[in-house]
């Protein structure tokens, strides 16, 4: 039950991210994706850091900067570039391949076994998402495709490295989310200023939209996301990603009057079914008995230096 509750709470993050399109189109200033990225990340990061009352120490200043760049600072601009140069459906499909990047990186860096059923589950989820969001007239753009793939790879690398490095002793996911959001927001400021110029004037709708994006869509969502990374496998967490485009499709139907065709409904069922199956497979793998005492394990953690111990439950590494 504890694992189920953790999965459910972590799933709220991609579900929240699915509302980004509707909030952006209905409430926020047009053509300001980088400014929006800064407004999402930096205030939320500063708020979470203040609430946690914890600052990085030692090497964690550098690690927080790296993780913040991968998960936020590079991910947001590349994602927006992809969205501007490609139809939303193509961009969403490129984002849905993120679990495949995580499977490969987790096998390489974390010793998580790349099971065939996990790969098939990720491919099936991406196929279901494509049925929901792709249109027959979707155009392709090389720069947009590269940006979409690199943004997915950046988020995947950030997820895996967050799991590998864990958290400093006594530091919780609230502080980790705050550090990364702050670092990512600071990375985006010069890019936004160079590309978009001065900030736009904000009306009541924009303030409401940015308030929602900062508090719910980013602050709480990323706190839950990093909390999940600390308690679940990296693959299990990333397989929740398809819930984001599915949520966007449901909001488009319920709130924006967008119709859903039978093919889209079938795609939603396939993607959601693959997401649930991925969590069931991950739970079964987590419940598998540990290797018998005395047997040599091939896991990554036992190949590391004997001075390093890893708390898999909390996702922390102690030296």
CB 97 within 8 A of CB 121: no
Structural domain spans, the chain: 2-286+311-315
Output the pLDDT for position 54. Answer: 94
Q: Residue 318's beta-bridge partner residues?
A: 309
- Asked if pLDDT for residue 111 goes beyond 50, the answer is yes
Q: Give dist(CA 99, CA 122) in Å, integer.
A: 6
Q: If you average pLDDT over residues 152-181, what whole number do you get?
A: 93
- Owner of token pair 């839950």: 224
Q: Which residue has the higher pLDDT, 133 or 54?
A: 54
Q: Cα–Cα distance between 253 and 258 in angstroms, integer?
A: 4
| Residue 318 in this model has a pLDDT that exceeds 60 | no
* DSSP-assigned beta bridge partners for residue 316: 311
Residue 116 Cα distances to 1, 95, 107, 119, angstroms? 26, 21, 12, 5
Region 50-78: mean pLDDT is 94
pLDDT score at 140? 67
**Using 50, 70 and 90 to split pLDDT, how confident is the model at 309?**
very low
Residue-level pLDDT at 294: 44
Looking at residue 316, what is its pLDDT?
41
Nearest C-alpha neighbor of 313 from the set 229, 240, 225, 239: 229
pLDDT at 187 over 90: yes
Bridge partners, residue 311, by sequence: 316
Instruction: Give the residue-averaged pLDDT of 296-312.
Output: 41
For the segment 121-148, the average pLDDT, to the nearest whole number, is 80
pLDDT at 225: 94
Report the chain's mean pLDDT, rounded to a whole number.
83
Whether the pLDDT of residue 71 is over 90: the answer is: yes
Tell me the Cα Rg of the chain. Answer: 19
Name the least confident of 33-47, 63-77, 168-182, 283-297. Answer: 283-297
Mean pLDDT within 123-133 = 87
pLDDT score recorded for residue 273: 93
Q: Looking at 66-75, 91-100, 197-206, 212-221, which range is the least confident one?
A: 91-100
Instruction: Please tell me the distance from the alpha carbon of residue 119 to that of residue 312, in angstroms, as a whole number.
Output: 22
Distance CA 148, CA 94 (A): 6
What percent of the chain stands above pLDDT 90?
Answer: 44
- pLDDT tens, residue by residue, 255-269: 877 788 898 899 999
Q: Is residue 194 pLDDT above 70, yes or no?
A: yes
The CA-based angle 14-15-20, given to 5 degrees, is 85
- Report, as an integer, the average pLDDT of 10-24: 89
More confident residue, 280 or 300: 280
- pLDDT higher than 50, residue 196: yes
pLDDT tens-digit profile of 238-257? 889 889 888 888 888 888 77
pLDDT at 303 over 50: no
Residue 161: the pLDDT is 95
- Per-residue pLDDT for 312 more than 60? no
Global pTM value = 0.81
pLDDT of 314 > 70? The answer is: no
CA 225 to CA 230: how far, in whole Å? Answer: 9
């Amino acid at each position: 039950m504890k694992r189920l509750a953790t999965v459910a709470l972590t799933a709220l993050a991609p579900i929240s991210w699915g509302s980004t399109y509707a909030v952006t189109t209905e409430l926020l200033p047009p053509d300001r994706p980088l400014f929006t990225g800064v407004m999402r990340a930096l205030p939320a990061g500063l708020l979470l850091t203040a609430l946690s009352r914890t600052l990085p120490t030692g090497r964690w200043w550098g690690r927080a900067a790296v993780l913040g760049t991968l998960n936020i600072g590079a991910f947001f601009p590349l994602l927006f570039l992809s969205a501007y140069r490609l139809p939303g459906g193509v961009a969403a499909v490129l984002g849905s391949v993120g679990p495949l990047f995580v499977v490969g990186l987790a096998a390489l860096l974390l010793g998580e076994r790349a099971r065939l059923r996990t790969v098939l589950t990720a491919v099936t989820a991406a196929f279901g998402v494509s049925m929901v969001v792709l249109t027959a007239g979707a155009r392709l753009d090389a720069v947009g495709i590269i940006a979409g793939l690199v943004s997915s790879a950046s988020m995947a690398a950030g997820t895996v490295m967050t799991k590998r490095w864990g958290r400093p002793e006594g530091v919780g996911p609230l502080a980790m989310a705050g550090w990364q959001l702050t670092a990512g927001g600071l990375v985006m400021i010069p890019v936004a200023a160079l590309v978009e110029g001065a900030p736009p004037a904000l009306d009541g709708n924009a303030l409401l939209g940015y308030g929602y994006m900062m508090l719910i869509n980013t602050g709480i969502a990323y706190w839950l996301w990093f909390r999940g990374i600390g308690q679940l496998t990296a693959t299990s967490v990333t397989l929740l990603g398809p819930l984001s485009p599915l949520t966007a499709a449901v909001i488009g139907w319920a709130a924006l009057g967008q119709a859903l065709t039978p093919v889209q409904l079938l795609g939603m069922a396939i993607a959601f079914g693959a997401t649930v199956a991925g969590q069931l497979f991950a739970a079964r793998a987590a419940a598998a008995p540990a290797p018998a005492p005395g047997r040599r394990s091939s896991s990554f953690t036992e190949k590391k230096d004997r001075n390093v111990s890893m708390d898999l439950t909390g996702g922390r590494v102690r030296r």
